[in-house]
Structure 1
C-alpha cells in the first residue's frame, strides 16, 4: 500500500473525517512518538506511535456499517453547546466508535447510516458516487404532480442550484399531502427548501432509504448492522 497521509489513515481508523483530522492537527491534538504534528501532509505506513489527545490510536478494523432510525428533535453531532439531545444520546451502549454518514436535520427522522470507517463515510457522501437518498414528506398546502415532476430538471433557489429530484404525490388528505422524493445530492436542508419553494409547509420529514439500505425492521432509536456480504456487494457497485 505504501505510505499514506495521516489524515487518511486516521479517518480510516474511525477517529474523524479527514477534514476534522486536519483541524485536530492544527489544534495540536495529534502527536507521533510524543512529537506534536503540525501538518496533515505527514506520510506514514501505520498508526503505530500516533496519539490523539494523548491516547494511542488503535489500528483500523474492518469497515462496518450500521442502520440507525434517528428520532425527531435529535442533533446529528457529537455534542451540542445548547444542550439539545444528539444521536449519541440515543445510540445503545456497546457499539464501536461510529460516525454518521451525512446528516439529518434536528427535526428530520429516519435512516441515518453510521460507520467506523472514515473512507467508507466519504465514499457514501461524495456527490460523484451518486448514492440516492429517499424521503417521505408530510406537507401542508397545494401542489400538483406536474409541479413535482418539474423538479426532475433541477431548480435554483436563492442562488443555490439543486440537481434533479424525482418527486411524486403519494396521497392527499384535505390540505395535507404525503410526497415521496428521491435525490442523489443531499445538500443542506434540500428537501425542506425545495418544498418551501413550492409553497408547502413540511410538518414531518422521514428519510426512508440511503442507497439500498432502508428502515426495514427498525423502530425509532433501533440500530442494526448491515451484513458484511451486503456491504461488500454495495461497495463493489459504487462508481
Structure 2
C-alpha cells in the first residue's frame, strides 16, 4: 500500500515526521534510485527500495516504547554537529532504532520517551492532547508569591504567551528553592525561559512526570519499556491529558542532592 514518504520514514524510526519532511526537501531521500523532493510523494515500503543518504530504509513491524531517565550532558537529537553524547547511546542492547518524543535540552535531565512508532509520537505531540509535563526546578534564592502568580497566569515569551502553569514551592531555604512547574506545551527551553522571564535563576531542571507516567526508582541513565496499557493510554489521550482520566501525581520531593 502506498503511503506518503514522510510517514514511511517516521514509521521506520528514521526521524519524526517533521524531520522526515526536511530530509525529503533536502534531497536526502530516494525511491528506486531516484531522488524525491516533493512532500506529497508516495511509495510502498513492501515493494519500493527507499533510501536515506544512500542507506536502505526498513519498516520494522515491532514497535518499541521506552521511558528513559535522561542525564545532563546528552542531546535528544539523532545527530549532533558538536559531537556531544546522544541519548540513544544510553539504550544499550535495545537492538531497534528509536527517536525521542519531543526533546529535553542538553542541561535538562529526567523523563524522556523514545519510540520507533512515528504515528504514536505524532499523536502525543498534537496540541489537542495537552499532556501535562511536570518539572522540578531548583532556583537560586527564594521565590516570591508574585513570581509564582505570574507563572500561573501565563508568561509572555518572545514566541508568544505561554499557557498558564501549575506552580508550587516544594522546598525553600535562603540559598535555593525547589519549585514544581507543570505545563502542557512543549516549546523550546520553555520552562527555563519562563523562569528567566520572572527573574528566577535556574540551577537544575528535571522532568519528573509525563502525563501520569513517572520514573519511580529508575536510576539516572537507565530505561524501561512502557507497558501496553501505558502506550494505549497515552495514545488515546487518557494519561494526563487535561479533561482526561484522573492523574496520579508524580514525585513532589526534590531529586537527589547535587
What is the TM-score when the length of structure 2 is the normalising length? 0.84
Match in the other structure for 1:18 = 17
Contact 2:142 2:174 in 1 (8 A): no
Distance 1:47 1:145 in 2: 59
How far, CA to CA, are the matches of 1:158 and 1:229 in structure 2? 38
The aligned residue for residue 181 of structure 2 is: 181
Note closer, same or farther for the CA distance 1:234–1:83 as it changes in structure 2 (3 Å cut): closer
Q: 1:163/1:47 Cα in 2 relative to 1: closer, same or farther (>3 Å)?
A: farther
Alpha-carbon deviations, 1:178-228, whole Å to 9, x = none? 000100002111111111222221111100011122111310110100012
In 2: Cα distance, 1:25 partner to 1:176 partner: 47
1:31 aligns with 2:30: yes
Q: Does 1:169 align with 2:174?
A: no
The answer on whether the counterparts of 2:124 and 2:235 sit within 8 Å (CA) in structure 1 is: no
Give the Cα separation in 2 of the matches to 1:183 and 1:47. 41
The number of equivalent residue pairs is 238
Q: Where does residue 6 of structure 2 map in the other structure? A: 7
Any conservation in 2 of the 1:11–1:117 contact (CA below 8 Å)? yes
Alpha-carbon shift at residue 94 of structure 1 (Å): 2.9
Distance across 2 between alignment mates of 1:125 and 1:45: 26
Structure 2: give runs of 5+ residues left out of the alignment: 242-258
- State the 1:134 CA deviation: 0.6
What are the superposed Cα offsets for residues 129-179 of structure 1, whole Å, 9 maximum, x if unpaired?
201101000111332245314422211134631111001011102231000
Instruction: Output aligned runs, 1:1-239, within 5 Å.
Output: 3-52=2-51, 53-158=53-158, 160-237=160-237
| 1:159–1:131 Cα change, 3 Å | closer
Provide closer, same or farther for how the CA distance between residues 237 and 27 of structure 1 changes in structure 2, counting only shifts above 3 A.
closer
CA distance in structure 2 between the partners assigned to 1:40 and 1:110 by the alignment = 35
Q: Pick closer, same or farther for the CA change 1:19–1:47 going to 2, 3 Å.
A: farther
CA distance in 2, matches of 1:88, 1:14: 12
Following superposition, the deviation at residue 62 of structure 1 comes to 4.3
Q: 2:233 & 2:18 partners in 1: Cα distance?
A: 28
Q: Is the 8 A contact 1:3 1:43 kept in 2?
A: yes
Matches of 1:172 and 1:102, distance apart in 2: 30
Task: Give the distance between the partners of 1:217 and 1:49, measured in 2 at CA.
Answer: 45
2:146 and 2:197 map into 1 onto residues whose CA distance is 15
Q: With structure 1 as the length reference, what TM-score do the two structures score? A: 0.90
1:77 positional shift: 1.7
Contact 1:108 1:206 in 2 (8 A): yes
